[in-house]
């Protein structure tokens, strides 16, 4: 959740002159300022109040664009593509592997689209398509795309993340 001074300032700055893309800009900046890179319900309520935008509209924007998060994110992010091409080439198994290796016991592969490890170090989420179907299955790790992923390669990427030094402090 944001401190309200920061949030009010972001809204004020973007609303000056009703700049195009203001709502997206506000949501993006507020998320960037938040530890855990996410938009809390209270953030969205305050933005709704300050901009006069219905809360439901803010939720539709935040859920439409995959770069917005509504729950706190881990230090590292693994994104597994669940589009048709990637599914056909084994992305469900990759997601199951990640959940098993990261002890995501409450994660339901058929219903949930994301989980974060208990120590908040790693978030795993899915995407509908990266637009690189010819290279399926595709997985990204901290924004770096990996094509033709398999269980062995994924296991070694996960081990690397687990062994990476945790970020100090984590404050933004
Ligand atoms: S279906 Fe995975 S990149 Fe398109």
136 lines ligand 1 (CB under 6 A): yes
Ligand 1 centroid from CA 137, angstroms:
7
Report helix, strand or coil for 129: coil
Ligand 1 centroid from CA 135, angstroms:
8
Report helix, strand or coil for 127: strand
Pairwise CA distance, residues 35 & 21, whole Å: 24
123: enclosing H helix or E strand: strand 122-127
149 lines ligand 1 (CB under 6 A): no
Give the model's pLDDT for residue 67.
83
Supply 171's token pair: 């404050």
**Residue among 125, 133, 157 at smallest CA distance from 144:** 157
**Domain chopping of the chain, boundaries:** 4-64, 76-163
ω into residue 25 within 30 of 0, thus cis? no
Give the model's pLDDT for residue 157.
97
Can you give the pTM of this predicted structure? 0.77
| Per-residue pLDDT of the chain in tens (172 residues, 90 and over written 9) | 567 789 999 999 887 656 668 999 999 999 999 988 999 999 999 999 999 999 999 999 999 887 899 989 999 999 999 999 999 999 999 999 999 999 998 899 999 889 999 999 999 999 999 999 999 999 999 999 999 999 999 999 999 999 988 776 544 5
Q: Closest residue (by CA) to atom 1 of ligand 1?
A: 83
> What is the separation of C-alpha 67 from the centre of its chain, rounded to a whole number of angstroms?
6
Supply 166's token pair: 């945790």
Give the model's pLDDT for residue 172.
52
Q: Residue 165, by phi and psi: left (phi above 0), alpha (psi -120 to 50) or beta?
A: beta
CATH code for the structural domain at 76-163? 3.40.30.10
């Amino acid at each position: 959740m944001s401190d309200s001074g920061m949030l009010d300032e972001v809204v004020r700055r973007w609303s000056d002159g009703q700049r195009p893309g203001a709502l997206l800009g506000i949501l993006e900046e507020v998320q960037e300022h938040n530890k855990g890179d996410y938009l809390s319900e209270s953030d969205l309520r305050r933005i709704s109040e300050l901009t006069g935008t219905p809360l439901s509209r803010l939720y539709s924007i935040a859920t439409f664009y995959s770069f917005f998060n509504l729950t706190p994110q881990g230090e590292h992010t693994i994104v597994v593509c669940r589009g048709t091409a990637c599914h056909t080439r084994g992305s469900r198994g990759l997601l199951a592997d990640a959940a098993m290796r990261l002890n995501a016991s409450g994660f339901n592969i058929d219903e949930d689209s994301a989980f974060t490890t208990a120590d908040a170090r790693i978030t795993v989420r899915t995407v509908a398509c990266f637009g690189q179907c010819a290279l399926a299955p595709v997985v990204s790790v901290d924004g770096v795309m990996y094509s033709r992923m398999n269980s062995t390669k994924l296991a070694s990427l996960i081990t690397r993340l687990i062994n990476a030094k945790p970020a100090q402090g984590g404050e933004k």
